[in-house]
Amino acid sequence: MGWGIAPLIYSRIIKIKSMEKYQLDNEHYMFGGKGDVWGNTAHIAKSGEPVTMCGRPMLSSNWVAIEGMEHIGCPKCVAAYQQLEADKCVMA
């Protein structure tokens, strides 16, 4: 008793595999190298952090931004970002 909406939010988060750039808040942005552009696997990064949300180091140029990609395809980054957003909702 007392779980509220958290399990419902969590169950919906797990099913989301990709996102679009417009869904990110102001602290997060898309990142990726040429391989991510070619493979449609752009990542999510937080301003000031040296790694993406899935733990990938950001050592290359941001070809995702250079090429103007709009689709975020890394499922681990998407899941981590959605969990962060769900935690904000539960804490509020």
Q: 68 lies in a domain? A: yes
pLDDT in tens, 11-25: 454 556 789 999 999
pTM, rounded to two decimals: 0.79
Specify the number of domains making up the chain.
1
Q: 1 lies in a domain? A: no
Q: 87 lies in a domain? A: yes
Q: What is the pLDDT of residue 91?
A: 65
Confidence of residue 8 (pLDDT cuts 50, 70, 90): very low
Q: What is the pLDDT of residue 18?
A: 84
pLDDT in tens, 36-66: 999 999 999 999 999 999 999 999 899 999 9
Q: 39 lies in a domain? A: yes
Contact between 5 and 32 under an 8 Å Cβ cutoff? The reply is no
The CA distance from 19 to 42, in Å, is 10
